[in-house]
Amino acid sequence: MLDAAVALIGQRGTAGTTLKEVGEQAGYSRGLAGYRFGSKEGLFGFVVKAVGEEWLRELTAVTRDKVGLAAIEAALDAHARFLAEAPEHVRAFYVLWFEAIGPRSTLKGVIERVHERRRRDVLEWIARGVAAGEIDPELDTGAVADHFCGAIVGIVYQWLVQPVDRARIEAMHETLKLTMRRLLPAHLPSEEYTP
Amino acid sequence: MLDAAVALIGQRGTAGTTLKEVGEQAGYSRGLAGYRFGSKEGLFGFVVKAVGEEWLRELTAVTRDKVGLAAIEAALDAHARFLAEAPEHVRAFYVLWFEAIGPRSTLKGVIERVHERRRRDVLEWIARGVAAGEIDPELDTGAVADHFCGAIVGIVYQWLVQPVDRARIEAMHETLKLTMRRLLPAHLPSEEYTP
DNA sequence: AAGGTACTTGCTTGTTTCAAACAAGTAAGA
DNA sequence: TCTTACTTGTTTGAAACAAGCAAGTACCTT
């Protein structure tokens, strides 16, 4: 059922996807999808949660035992890989993500929580980088985290618009790494001059 | 008719907006909106074009006679102002913008052109900054422009999710300015050491 | 110039089609 | 017998389209 929904969202978009087709493509009757999920929005919520958890597992795996810039770069690498291998799941996830911003969207809450979670992760990586002495403690970490999360959204947007241009997407991840290196200056830069 | 559409998109979202209501709220019959614009998508396309041109006029006005970082910062100030004054128009515009990424969206073409136009503007500002000798000509300007446009999308996304938190939105614009200053280094940095 | 006719424009109303939502049912198993 | 998993029937409502109407506007004829 999940796979059918993901495939249809990828092909026809959310407006073009019907509960009837989802049910039938999954090998059931026309009515099952509506019955199980209550409504179209209910189905979409299920898809977002399922794929979101998939990504979360991936992310925690690659950032385990990493702090500061290393964690951020590992996360970016994993993200680029996730998009490049582009299982349709990710595409459906982000299509739903971007549509959830409208008013009256029941998905909004779910998406907001994912977003907030991302931000806290970034803050955590930075805080640990500060603790490890590799990042300046004076920094406005909230602003940097916001910029990072926003930039990710921007990259994904670009990817959804032109998924073909893989090199460009990877370049955007690299530019974001560079940006983060510039925004997160080393702690006690004077040490750089003591050989 | 435009105002009715904008108001309804802002209140109910695109899925919740009906052609019937748009027509009636504009003081006409239930059928007019559908007749004039052919379809719901047609109406939405009209809204995007109308608001897009509004913003374009604003943008060209504030960046006239500016190059390099100055142009970028002026554009960011104008953008922050546009969001803060938040005429419903902008909200409807971006809601449609984010929904246009799905497959089978007729708006996609329009949005892609707006996006591409933005990118070319940024490249132009940078190129003029290079010509004026204030930016390093060795730079990968395409990557910087992509990052900039992506970051804008990220900011707008955040704004749509939590339009209330005005300070945060302005901070994100400031962080993006800072980022651009870091990514666009001065030309011939050695000059900085010759008094 | 006057008056009549065709054509256009802007809008309304009627009708079809199709999806969502929900209610009621059935069959297989615990 | 009760629950679970699923199907089928029905209602409601929106989109899309067709057809119609009324108020111009242009054109043509004498």
* CA dist list (Å): B52 to A9, A153, B114, B181, B193: 28, 21, 8, 27, 45
A35 touches strand D (CB under 7 A): yes
Determine whether the interchain pair B150/A151 forms a contact, defined as Cβ–Cβ distance below 8 Å: yes
Decide if B163 touches A, using CB distance below 8 A.
no
Taking 80 as the threshold, does the pLDDT of residue B143 lie above it?
A: yes
The residue among A115, A157, A178 with the most chain B CBs within 10 A of its CB, best to mutate, is A157
How far, in Å, is the CA of A61 from the C1' of nucleotide D3?
Answer: 40
| pLDDT of B113 higher than 60 | yes
CA distance A8 to chain B (A): 10
The whole-angstrom separation of Cα A76 and Cα B65 is 38
The pLDDT of residue B118: 96
Give chain A as a 3 state SS string: CHHHHHHHHHHHHHHHCCHHHHHHHCCCCCCHHHHHHCCHHHHHHHHHHHHHHHHHHHHHHHHCCCCHHHHHHHHHHHHHHHHHHCCHHHHHHHHHHHHCCCCCCCHHHHHHHHHHHHHHHHHHHHHHHHHCCCCCCCCCHHHHHHHHHHHHHHHHHHHHHCCCCHHHHHHHHHHHHHHHHHHCCCCCHHHHHCC
Q: Is the pLDDT of residue B188 over 70?
A: no
Q: Over the stretch A109-127, which tens digit does the pLDDT of each residue have?
A: 999 999 999 999 999 999 9
Distance of C1' in D9 from CA in A109, Å = 35
User: Is 60 exceeded by the pLDDT of residue B189?
Assistant: no
Q: What is the pLDDT of residue A163?
A: 85
**Residue A86 pLDDT exceeds 90:** no
Cβ–Cβ gap B147/A179 under 8 Å: yes
Give the model confidence (pLDDT) of B125-137 as tens digits. Answer: 999 999 999 999 9
Is the CB of B174 less than 8 angstroms away from the CB of A112? no
pLDDT at B185: 80
What mean pLDDT comes out for the span A40-55? Answer: 95
A29 touches strand D (CB under 7 A): yes
pLDDT above 70 coverage of chain B, percent: 95
* pLDDT, averaged across chain B: 92
pLDDT at A189: 47
Q: What percent of chain A has pLDDT over 90?
A: 90
Q: Output DSSP code: residue B184.
A: S
Q: What is the pLDDT of residue A140?
A: 95
The pLDDT value given to residue A174: 98
The integer distance in angstroms from the CA atom of A42 to the C1' atom of D2 is 28
Q: A168, B154: Cβ pair inside 8 Å?
A: no
* B41 CB-to-strand D distance under 7 Å: yes
Interface test with A, best of B111, B126, B146 (most A CBs within 10 A): B146
State the pLDDT at residue B191: 44
Confidence grade of residue A66 (pLDDT, cut at 50, 70, 90): very high
pLDDT in tens, A150-167: 999 999 999 999 888 999
**Distances from the Cα of B149 to the Cα of A29, A153, B86, B120, angstroms:** 45, 11, 20, 10
What was the pLDDT predicted at A187?
57
Whether the predicted pLDDT of B177 surpasses 50: yes
CB of B34 within 7 Å of some strand D atom: yes
Res A107 pLDDT > 50: yes
Position with higher pLDDT, A191 vs A80: A80
Return the pLDDT at B163. Answer: 85
